[in-house]
Amino acid sequence: MKAILTWHSIDASGSVISTPPEVFAAQVDWLTSGRVRVVSLPNLVALPEQDDAVALTFDDGFANFATHAAPRLFDRGLAATLFVVTDRVGLTNDWGGYPEAGIPSLPLLGWSELGHLVEAGVDVGSHSRSHADLGILQGPKLADEVAGSAERIVAELGQRPRVFAYPYGTVSDAATHEVERVFEWACLADLRAVRSTDHRTRLPRIDMYYLRNLRTLDAWGSVTFQAYFAIRQALRGPRQRLRTTLRRRRMARPPAGGKSPA
């Protein structure tokens, strides 16, 4: 079984986007125990479906990637892709101008720190310009979020990003077409293994939030493991749709002055 794995923030807050540092350390130990091969995302896509291999990805570009994730990855010589939100680099993850319920407001890496990470071998991909919900954008706004983010990475880091991650995992045909024009691969948030039939710009990813328990990781590739994620995906569907509806409603009516709601 081959899969793209995702983390967001490595911190101890206990939020749904957070992996505690000691859990991350244990996950990396497991990933380097010989059970699977860790390869870059482009290399993973090229491997046969039955290979036991993973690619490591990190969304949003949190500052704690540099302090808590990168040292462990470099120690083991592991490849990773870091997806950055180009207009938010050096700021925080308060995408709509204020924090989302239950999500900690955290600092994001700046361009110079990203430059050092690129020099050290980290692959920087795009996660749009503003963490926009691409599922509802069209025309120039959509193009700006996708192509505009790639241009900014070229301008700041001197290299063209090859991989894109859709914010919130939401997508439309228009978004896929735009992403196809600019990037070689793109990732969604569907919780399953990568299949040879997957479109290059609609690749699934397994969120490591669901693999905090190492016993679940030990079942890697088994029927039990695949069933666990099929159930998670099914349960997450209605909740994700509700969150998407609420977020779109909120973004349509931003609070005056962009201040945090009481």
Q: Which residues bind Zn ion (CB under 5 A)?
A: 59-60, 167
Query: Sign of dihedral through CA atoms 185, 191, 193, 197?
Result: negative
Instruction: Give the helix/strand (H/E) hosting 165.
Output: strand 163-165
Q: How far is the CB of 127 from Zn ion (least distance, A)?
A: 5
In 3-state terms, what secondary structure has residue 123?
Answer: strand
Residue 5 and residue 135: Cα distance in Å, rounded? 22
If we measure between CA atoms, which residue out of 216, 207, 208 comes closest to residue 189? 207
Q: Are 58 and 65 in contact (CB under 8 A)?
A: yes
Q: Are 188 and 204 in contact (CB under 8 A)?
A: yes
Query: Sign of dihedral through CA atoms 231, 205, 186, 96?
Result: positive
C-beta closer to Zn ion: residue 133 or 217: 133
C-beta closer to Zn ion: residue 59 or 145: 59
At position 251, the amino acid (one-letter code) is M
Q: How far is the CB of 129 from Zn ion (least distance, A)?
A: 12
Q: Are 111 and 154 in contact (CB under 8 A)?
A: no
133 C-beta neighbours (distance < 10 Å), count: 22
C-beta closer to Zn ion: residue 58 or 225: 58
C-beta closer to Zn ion: residue 36 or 146: 146
If we measure between CA atoms, which residue out of 226, 187, 186, 198 comes closest to residue 210? 226
C-beta closer to Zn ion: residue 84 or 217: 84
Tokens standing for residue 193: 């293994």
Query: Sign of dihedral through CA atoms 140, 201, 56, 125?
Result: negative
Q: How far is the CB of 60 from Zn ion (least distance, A)?
A: 5
Q: How far is the CB of 218 from Zn ion (least distance, A)?
A: 28
